[in-house]
Structure 1
Amino acid sequence: MLYIGLYLVAAGVGGIKGSLPTHGAEQFDESTPQGRIKRSTFFNYFVVCLSAGGLIATTFVVWIEDNKGWKWGFLISTMAMLLSIPVFLLGSGFYRNKIPNGSPFTTISKVLLAAIINSCSGKTTSNAVVNMATSPPSVSTQKSSDTKSKKGQEKTSENESLETQTQSFKFLNRAVNNTPVYTALKCTTKQVEEVKVVLKLFPIFASTIILNCCLAQLSTFSVQQAASMDTNLGSLKIPAASLPVFPIVIIMVVAPIYDHLIIPFAREITKRETGISHLQRIGTGLVLSVLAMAAAALVEVKRKNVAIKHDLVDSTKPLPITFFWIAIQYALLGSADLFTLAGMLEFFFTEAPSSMRSLATSLSWASLAIGYYLSSVIVSIVNEATSRGHHKGWLSGGNLNRYRLERFYWLLCVLGGVNFLNYLFWACRYKYRSTGSKK
């Protein structure tokens, strides 16, 4: 029953995190600069709200579970979710609701299958079917179009860009055929171009996975480090398991500063609506993650030197060094998470076709999940590769002071640096589709 409950929670959280960012962002008028600026603010505070929930969960709910029992913790969480439903529904009369028009997975699968089957059958792509929107406008049409609203012009421009066949991913152009092998696999140019747009997002998505590998260390080795240090704050003893509160608080503090101070200042310099571009924001997060791993390695060296100096390498006593040293890597990784997650959500939302925005924003959470799983894989590989004969692996054994954790952190630092270079390669070649990102 416990696992059933956990899987149901995972399914519910997946639905909320996959749909809510897109639903919230669509409430703003993306045809105006002010609307796009407010939408950017929404993504910042969406991450803040997630952090606020995490703060309550890791403090108040944990305290309830420790002092009153697990059933009270689960009960409070359940009641909070039940209460959120009517609160959400109260605004249903004011929401801008997008009419569903099919699953993006259906479109992607259809285009890929059509391209493969048409290639195998020897049929060539036909360019005979071209949407009238791609034809050169007449003089009278041009005059009438000049009187349209800016919103209408932008929508027409977006449609035209998707209804004109491009030469990227040429193989997929084979999906467009007047006489397909199977009529159910008949694809339009727009569908093919939408799939191409999503595929172009994948290099950026893949470049953020290593960052989430680094984030995974906050709840594993960083907690073990803190547990071996002096966790007293005056007369108060801080549980090592509560240290993940640090990055949460950092996000809640930095987000308003970023939105109300840094961005307006950057906007004056760059003359860009968003201050810095979405890709620059993601890149900033990647750089911060590299710095965080370097700081973590240096702190670990200092921690082990203290253990050696006081002859406490094999002792279970707390080391005479404050756990606030660990706060450095927590602060850097918390800031990295804010820059990257909010940047990814906005980037994927604005660049994806309107019919695939929920799928695109979900890539942010997929990156997080893959990063955490990959972290476990990297730890296993490192232990296997570094264990020779009687020598244990870098991260093997029950004594943290005997670990080579600083080497592992340096490894992540190097991987993060190489990953950032890979990110620069793709980011410098990416061409924005959205209006707000171009200005």
Structure 2
Amino acid sequence: MDHTEKDVLLEGKVDWRGRIATKNQHGGMKAAVFVLATFAFENMASFALAVNLVTYFNSVMHYDIADSANHLTNYMGTAYILSILMAVFADAYIGRFKTLLIAAFVEFLGIALLTLQAHYPKFKPPVCNIFLPTSNCEKLTGGNAVMLFSAIYLMAVGASGVKAALPSHGADQFEEKDAQEATQMSTFFNWLLLAIVVGGCVSLTFFVWVQVNKGFDYGFGLSMIAMFMGAVILICGLPWYRIYVVQGSSAITEIIQVYVAAIRNCNLKLPEDPSELYEIAMDKEAGIHEEFLPHRDVYRWLDKAAVRCDKTVLTSNSWKLCRVTQVENAKILLAMIPVFLCSIIMTLCLAQLQTFSVQQGVTMDIKLTKSFNIPPASLPIIPVAFLVILVPIYDKVVVPLLRKFTGIPTGITYLQRVGVGLILSSLSMAIAGVMEVKRKDVAKDHNMLDAIPVLQPLPISVFWLTFQYFVFGIADMFTYVGLLEFFYSQAPKPIKSISSCFLWSSMALGYFLSGIMVKIVNHVTKGGTKSGGWLAGNNINRNHLELFYWLLAILSLINFVIYLFVAMRYKYRPQTLDAEHELHHLRKTSITPL
């Protein structure tokens, strides 16, 4: 392949100077390493916050447990849901790399503000012990509350941009049509999880330990430094990046045009021959700039967007007449929505491991040795550390082995991988319920239902909680990486960043649903408990968390059954057609270019 052919291969991607990116000089794993390192440092900064903010809200800012859990899930949900907006800007306006760089700075600014508030007493309520029944602790209010939530939601905005742009920018370093690079792209997504867990290992051990033993201000300060390092590493990779060129139009707008045109043309009759549907003329020059997809006989009602009123006259109104490729892109996104909906319940389960499971750990014996205590917020380090070993084994041993039997480059299909994770998440919640029964039995046997955790922990090791974390960690490896690969591979080229946001959006809805579900459960069950519901109040020993976990296990199992039905009906998108093969393929599929 000569230099000109390489330029054609990477058409649509440029280097940092705006020149056409070449395969031998740009992209590949050497560029992806910088992206992976950036994600590792970003997760190093954010993991400790995600697992320990509940304790910060509860013990320092004096919100009760339920409100603290809801504040955290609202923050996490906002970070994920805003990723949609950030992805639109990345794909249609400013580009993925610029979005990523700006977002990293905003997240750094939010963590810096949080660190400032944690350091100075004048920005916090007076110190008191919330676990003492006689304490009348003052909750954070006024300008200081504004400062806290400004910091939290600046972090959410920044994190949303990183989540929206980083996976797609990393995947942009590979060409899907190149067999070798397509395999490397699958490796990149596996190693993306490895970057998360490596950053998480440092965050959940060292950062959390500093928060607990040296103060939240020092712990948050470490997160601030990690975020700064991530931004610096991102910039260092600039000479090697393949940077996707913004096309100047919103692909989301084109998708909406299909629905509008289909509605406007609802009275038109679909032609029996798909060749009568509208598509632009195809030649090698067009193939460089346009994506072409063959017509599929699914969601036929959307085909009306490509029906011409007059076979000889074409309208220039894109809200009345759309290309076949446009229609097929709309069909692909529509087919992905059921998979997206089935992934929400898993995040609802994850939210409980980041909130209520940490509160379980607060009441338990946290001694690792006679002189060292493990912070409850560091419990997820058990499955995270396991994933550090498991991910390379899965990528380098399991996937090649499965590939020999299935012939699939990724070993098993994306949807099969997601399904394994969903059933494991249900098992994790069932185990969590059993562990909570065991913990409460110890409290009852020792007459410690009203014990103050910081003064009198239960005589049961916190490591009993690692079983639920361990199983859910494996579920993470299968489901979230599988979903990232699935959404990226299936989405049309112009909306690769937005496709990644299907995962983040499902997580956002899961976090928001968690807060809503806690309130609903407390409202429905308030008549059967003295505290006002299964999860109400600050005394977790008097609550019925085990019943809540089992409820989630049942919901997850029902969700898995629905997912099986959805996955079996899903048809993977066809490959984008190469320009030089367009006419031959379209003769076979009965679509004639105009």
Deviation of the 1:211 alpha carbon? 0.5
Deviation of the 1:238 alpha carbon? 1.5
Confirm or deny: 8 A CA contact 2:484 2:500 kept in the other structure.
yes
Partner of 1:380: 519
1:402-438 alpha-carbon deviations (Å, 9 max, x no partner):
2221111111111000000010001011112267xxx
Alignment of 1:18 with 2:151, yes or no, is no
Deviation of the 1:90 alpha carbon? 3.4
CA distance in 2, matches of 1:226, 1:72: 22
1:128-180 alpha-carbon deviations (Å, 9 max, x no partner):
5344559xxxxxxxxxx9xxxxxxxxx99x955x252x443333223335469
Counterparts of 1:37-48 in structure 2, within 5 Å, are: 37-48=183-194
CA distance in 2, matches of 1:85, 1:407: 43
> Could you tell me which amino acid in structure 2 is paired with residue 104 of structure 1?
A
CA distance in 1, matches of 2:179, 2:563: 28
Alignment of 1:129 with 2:264, yes or no, is no
Alignment of 1:112 with 2:251, yes or no, is no
Alignment of 1:171 with 2:301, yes or no, is yes
CA distance in 2, matches of 1:108, 1:430: 20
Evaluate the alpha carbon distance shift between residue 23 and residue 376 of structure 1 in structure 2; reply closer, same or farther with a 3 A threshold.
same
For the residue of structure 1 that corresponds to 2:298, the secondary structure is coil
Instruction: Tell me the number of residue pairs that the alignment of Structure 1 and Structure 2 aligns.
Output: 413
CA distance in 2, matches of 1:234, 1:65: 19
Deviation of the 1:83 alpha carbon? 4.2
Unaligned runs of at least 5 residues, structure 1:
135-144, 146-154
Among residues 189, 196, 203, which one is paired with 1:50 in the alignment? 196
Alignment of 1:202 with 2:337, yes or no, is yes
Partner of 2:181: 35
Evaluate the alpha carbon distance shift between residue 87 and residue 240 of structure 1 in structure 2; reply closer, same or farther with a 3 A threshold.
closer
Confirm or deny: 8 A CA contact 1:172 1:192 kept in the other structure.
yes
For the residue of structure 1 that corresponds to 2:451, the secondary structure is coil
CA distance in 2, matches of 1:398, 1:85: 39
Evaluate the alpha carbon distance shift between residue 65 and residue 416 of structure 1 in structure 2; reply closer, same or farther with a 3 A threshold.
closer
Among residues 289, 307, 317, which one is paired with 1:183 in the alignment? 317
Evaluate the alpha carbon distance shift between residue 82 and residue 373 of structure 1 in structure 2; reply closer, same or farther with a 3 A threshold.
same
Confirm or deny: 8 A CA contact 2:172 2:242 kept in the other structure.
yes
Partner of 1:415: 555
Evaluate the alpha carbon distance shift between residue 257 and residue 192 of structure 1 in structure 2; reply closer, same or farther with a 3 A threshold.
same
1:270-295 alpha-carbon deviations (Å, 9 max, x no partner):
23221111111111110110110111
Confirm or deny: 8 A CA contact 1:130 1:163 kept in the other structure.
no
Which stretch shifts more, 235-244 or 286-295? 235-244
Among residues 401, 424, 438, which one is paired with 1:302 in the alignment? 438
Confirm or deny: 8 A CA contact 1:296 1:329 kept in the other structure.
yes
CA distance in 2, matches of 1:90, 1:291: 43
Evaluate the alpha carbon distance shift between residue 87 and residue 388 of structure 1 in structure 2; reply closer, same or farther with a 3 A threshold.
closer
Evaluate the alpha carbon distance shift between residue 31 and residue 224 of structure 1 in structure 2; reply closer, same or farther with a 3 A threshold.
same
Confirm or deny: 8 A CA contact 2:209 2:374 kept in the other structure.
no
Evaluate the alpha carbon distance shift between residue 302 and residue 74 of structure 1 in structure 2; reply closer, same or farther with a 3 A threshold.
closer
> Could you tell me which amino acid in structure 1 is paired with residue 331 of structure 2?
K
> Could you tell me which amino acid in structure 1 is paired with residue 474 of structure 2?
S
Partner of 2:353: 218
For the residue of structure 2 that corresponds to 1:211, the secondary structure is helix
Alignment of 1:349 with 2:462, yes or no, is no
> Could you tell me which amino acid in structure 2 is paired with residue 273 of structure 1?
P
Deviation of the 1:92 alpha carbon? 2.9
CA distance in 2, matches of 1:381, 1:295: 23
Deviation of the 1:54 alpha carbon? 3.2
Partner of 1:272: 408
Confirm or deny: 8 A CA contact 2:363 2:457 kept in the other structure.
yes
Counterparts of 1:196-345 in structure 2, within 5 Å, are: 196-235=331-370, 236-316=372-452, 317-345=456-484
For the residue of structure 2 that corresponds to 1:410, the secondary structure is helix
Which stretch shifts more, 54-63 or 220-229? 54-63
> Could you tell me which amino acid in structure 1 is paired with residue 378 of structure 2?
S
RMSD: 3.0
Partner of 1:91: 237
For the residue of structure 1 that corresponds to 2:244, the secondary structure is coil
Confirm or deny: 8 A CA contact 1:33 1:273 kept in the other structure.
no
Deviation of the 1:104 alpha carbon? 2.5
Which stretch shifts more, 93-102 or 347-356? 93-102
Confirm or deny: 8 A CA contact 2:278 2:322 kept in the other structure.
no
Q: TM (normalized to structure 2)?
A: 0.64
CA distance in 1, matches of 2:204, 2:444: 33
Unaligned runs of at least 5 residues, structure 2:
1-146, 576-594
Partner of 2:39: none
Deviation of the 1:66 alpha carbon? 5.7
Evaluate the alpha carbon distance shift between residue 371 and residue 170 of structure 1 in structure 2; reply closer, same or farther with a 3 A threshold.
same
Alignment of 1:406 with 2:546, yes or no, is yes
Evaluate the alpha carbon distance shift between residue 60 and residue 238 of structure 1 in structure 2; reply closer, same or farther with a 3 A threshold.
closer
Deviation of the 1:64 alpha carbon? 4.9
Which stretch shifts more, 258-267 or 174-183? 174-183
Q: TM (normalized to structure 1)?
A: 0.84
CA distance in 2, matches of 1:170, 1:77: 51
> Could you tell me which amino acid in structure 1 is paired with residue 369 of structure 2?
G
> Could you tell me which amino acid in structure 1 is paired with residue 537 of structure 2?
G
Which stretch shifts more, 288-297 or 93-102? 93-102
Evaluate the alpha carbon distance shift between residue 163 and residue 432 of structure 1 in structure 2; reply closer, same or farther with a 3 A threshold.
closer
CA distance in 1, matches of 2:269, 2:405: 50
Partner of 2:568: 428
Deviation of the 1:6 alpha carbon? 3.5
CA distance in 1, matches of 2:154, 2:433: 38
CA distance in 1, matches of 2:226, 2:446: 48
Partner of 1:359: 498
CA distance in 2, matches of 1:355, 1:348: 13
For the residue of structure 2 that corresponds to 1:233, the secondary structure is coil
> Could you tell me which amino acid in structure 1 is paired with residue 423 of structure 2?
V
CA distance in 1, matches of 2:337, 2:205: 36
Evaluate the alpha carbon distance shift between residue 307 and residue 275 of structure 1 in structure 2; reply closer, same or farther with a 3 A threshold.
same
